[in-house]
């Protein structure tokens, strides 16, 4: 990339999973494509989120499961091999090197410029490279923003001097803090509390909301995860917010909470949400406000920019902040960009080839705690808020033969929501060990809008935990 100016059909700003996928799809559509990235190709998911966090959690959850298996439980009562766990985490994060990602980009003929890109006007981006050079780029068809999000931090005096952990620190730390305070009640908070407690930290989890853990899911999910964390030894405090935090001369963190108590720890992790990475993109040159989310239509085209050349995929559009949904949006957007570039019809009907309908109808999510939580589609609260008439069907997963085979004392719960008018499944939540592997069947049921009378003929194998589907249907039929 020695040219000072170049023109492509498509520019992609950000080479995380969403950016890589949209570049792959536009290139497959025959459009010349360049991708810009100032950090590691593969983004947050590969190096600081999904991959390293699940590498930390896998031995934790496997040990917890094994401790409830007769004939195995006595063999797994000891502590985890922390150096081995961290070494495996490093391997899963490719030791924070992106050579494989670069090779993949080359294999699909997508150009790469390493550097920070900023808009200078419509379809115009200027890139400052790591070497200090400037490359000016023009897009004929589309620019796609896929810069993702960063960890949000509270507005607390002196916070920077405390050097708090964010999700990046929590997934890449090379030592186990003796005492760790985790602030937050969402997915990152509960997963990291699970991981670091099992690795040897004394963990205190501070949850400001009195709604408890995982407030966007069914209430019983958060309640069961809180119970599981307490059994692990985590001090879970609901309705407790941070009023001040400081690091003293000895390096200890002193956190004052809303009831006046001071908690002393070695590190503090804030996991209170995400912020869009749009502060330094030059959005003001195209009529947008720096630091804002980028609202899009169902083809992932930004709705507030004239002429329809700007797209946003992944977390940055605030539709569904999960890697798999960002990749899904990227496939949709790439196909839509290709269709429009070649003057072909855009299929924008619900569930059409060029619309991300699943973002609003069927977002699957797994929380890797003990017990696991898996959900897709509506919750009861969402149904009530939107006025949907649903029938709620619950079942105790622990009563299923496959659950009893899985572990002694298996505790779990399943909830299925049925659209009363159409008799289709519109939401499912599972809580219990191993339920993440049940989720895709639920996702297929929601997306396919399969009538319950047809699901009756989908026979689950015995004895598996998936037999809970049969029990839910039997409960529904009375």
Outline where 298-410 has alpha helix (H).
323-341, 358-361, 380-386, 401-406
The bridge status of strand 179-183 relative to strand 267-270 is: parallel
pLDDT per position as a tens digit, 327-356: 999 999 999 999 999 999 999 999 999 999
What tokens appear for 320 in the block?
């569904």
* pLDDT for the residue 131: 86
The residues pairing with 375 across neighbouring beta strands, listed in sequence order, are 365, 429
Residue count of the chain: 478
CA distance 309 to 122: 8
Quote the Cα angle for 273-16-139, to 5°.
115
What tokens appear for 279 in the block?
């502060």
Give the count of beta carbons closer than 10 Å to the beta carbon of residue 211.
14
The bridge status of strand 274-276 relative to strand 149-151 is: antiparallel
Give the list of residues 6+ apart from residue 143 with CB closer than 8 angstroms, or none.
10, 11, 12, 13, 119, 123, 125, 309, 310, 311
Contact 333, 311 (CB under 8 A): yes
Contact 446, 425 (CB under 8 A): yes
pLDDT per position as a tens digit, 93-149: 999 999 999 999 999 999 999 999 999 999 999 999 988 899 999 999 999 999 999
CA distance 142 to 123: 7
CA distance 381 to 378: 8
Looking at the predicted structure, is the pLDDT value of residue 176 above 50? yes
* pLDDT for the residue 4: 84
The predicted model gives 221-243 an average pLDDT of 97
Mean pLDDT of all residues in the chain? Answer: 96
* pLDDT for the residue 3: 60
**Secondary structure of 25-62 in the HEC alphabet?**
HHHHCCCCEEEEECCCCCHHHHHHCHHHHHHHHHHHHH
* pLDDT for the residue 377: 97
């Amino acid at each position: 990339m020695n040219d000072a100016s170049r023109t492509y059909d498509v520019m992609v700003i950000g080479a995380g999973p969403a950016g890589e996928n949209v570049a792959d799809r536009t290139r497959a559509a025959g459009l010349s494509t360049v991708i810009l990235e100032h950090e590691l190709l593969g983004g947050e998911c590969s190096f600081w989120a999904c991959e390293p966090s699940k590498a930390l959690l896998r031995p934790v959850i496997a040990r917890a499961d094994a401790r409830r298996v007769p004939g195995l439980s006595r063999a797994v009562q000891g502590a985890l091999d922390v150096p081995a766990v961290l070494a495996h985490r490093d391997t899963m994060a490719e030791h924070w090197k992106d050579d494989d990602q670069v090779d993949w980009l080359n294999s699909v003929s997508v150009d790469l410029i390493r550097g920070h890109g900023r808009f200078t006007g419509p379809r115009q981006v200027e890139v400052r490279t790591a070497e200090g050079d400037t490359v000016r780029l023009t897009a004929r068809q589309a620019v796609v923003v896929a810069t993702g999000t960063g960890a949000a931090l509270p507005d607390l005096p002196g916070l920077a001097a405390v050097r708090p952990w964010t999700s990046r620190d929590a997934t890449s730390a090379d030592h186990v803090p003796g005492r760790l305070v985790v602030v937050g009640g969402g997915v990152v908070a509960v997963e990291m509390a699970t991981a670091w407690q099992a690795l040897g930290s004394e963990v205190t989890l501070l949850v400001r909301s009195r709604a408890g853990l995982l407030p966007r899911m069914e209430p019983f999910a958060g309640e069961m995860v809180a119970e599981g964390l307490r059994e692990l030894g985590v001090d879970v405090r609901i309705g407790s917010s941070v009023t001040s935090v400081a690091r003293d001369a000895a390096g200890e963190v002193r956190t004052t909470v809303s009831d006046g108590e001071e908690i002393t720890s070695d590190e503090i992790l804030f996991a209170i949400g995400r912020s869009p990475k749009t502060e330094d993109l030059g959005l003001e040159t195209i009529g947008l406000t720096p630091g804002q989310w980028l609202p899009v239509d169902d083809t992932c085209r930004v709705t507030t920019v004239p002429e329809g050349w700007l797209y946003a995929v992944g977390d940055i559009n605030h539709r569904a902040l999960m890697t798999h949904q960002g990749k899904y949006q990227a496939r949709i957007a790439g196909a839509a960009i290709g269709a429009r570039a070649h003057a072909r019809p855009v299929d924008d009907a619900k569930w059409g080839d060029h619309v991300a309908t699943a973002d609003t109808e069927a977002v699957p999510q797994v929380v890797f705690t003990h017990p696991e939580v898996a959900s897709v589609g509506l919750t009861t609260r969402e149904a009530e808020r939107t006025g949907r008439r649903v029938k709620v069907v619950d079942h105790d997963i622990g009563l299923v033969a496959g659950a009893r085979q899985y572990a002694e004392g298996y505790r779990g719960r399943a909830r299925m929501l049925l659209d009363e008018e159409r008799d289709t499944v519109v939401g499912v939540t599972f809580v219990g060990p191993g339920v993440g592997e049940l989720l895709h069947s639920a996702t297929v049921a929601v997306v396919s809008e399969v009538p319950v009378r047809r699901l009756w003929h989908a026979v689950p194998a015995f004895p598996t935990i998936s037999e809970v589907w049969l029990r839910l249907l039997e409960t529904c039929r009375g």
